[in-house]
């Protein structure tokens, strides 16, 4: 069973993502800030995908993205940025810093599921 880490500070959206992902059969760990996500990633093995908001308290999503890419254990973990930021510079910066995909809120659940499947297939091929 694939394990997805959701890093989203909006409670309602975090709970919705948990529900949607569990319904699809994924194991889900959901946290509300980047620093706690970093602590979990240091402890947990086997995170298959990170869904990451960029607008997070304590440690921003951008900082967490850079940290994930610098760690040997997580450098290849697919990261899907799911955020309100829709400026071209924000999209380009996140992709340049190592995000594998970028979605703008609000999102369509079917599109999100398809992108998750695509990213998990890519990880399997690595």
Q: Is residue 28 part of a domain?
A: yes
Could you tell me if residue 126 is inside a domain? no
Q: Find the CATH number of the domain harbouring 89.
A: 3.40.50.2300
Residue 84: inside a domain: yes
Domain count, the chain: 1
Q: Give the count of beta carbons closer than 10 Å to the beta carbon of residue 110.
A: 8
Q: What is the pLDDT of residue 124?
A: 73
pLDDT per residue as tens digits for the range 6-30: 999 999 999 999 999 999 999 999 9
Residue 123 pLDDT: 73
Tell me the average pLDDT across 60-71. 97
Place of tokens 């992108």: 115
Range of the domain at 21: 3-121
Is residue 62 situated within a structural domain? yes
pLDDT digits (tens, 9 = 90+) for 97-124: 999 999 999 999 999 999 999 999 987 7
Residues 69-96 have a mean pLDDT of 95
- Residue reference for tokens 């309602």: 12
Q: How is residue 86 annotated by DSSP? A: -
Structural domain includes residue 76: yes
Is residue 55, in this structure, part of any structural domain at all? yes
Give the global pTM.
0.96
């Amino acid at each position: 069973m694939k394990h997805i880490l959701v890093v989203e500070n909006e409670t309602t959206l975090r709970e919705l993502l948990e529900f949607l992902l569990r319904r699809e059969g994924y194991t889900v760990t959901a946290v509300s800030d980047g620093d706690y996500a970093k602590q979990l990633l240091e402890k947990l093995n086997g995170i298959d995908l990170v869904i990451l908001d960029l607008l997070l308290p304590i440690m921003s999503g951008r900082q967490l993205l850079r940290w994930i890419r610098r760690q040997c254990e997580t450098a290849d973990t697919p990261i899907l940025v799911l955020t309100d930021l829709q400026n071209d510079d924000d999209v380009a910066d996140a992709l340049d810093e190592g995000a594998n995909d970028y979605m703008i809120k609000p999102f369509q659940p079917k599109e999100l599921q398809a992108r998750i499947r695509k990213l998990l297939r890519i990880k399997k091929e690595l």
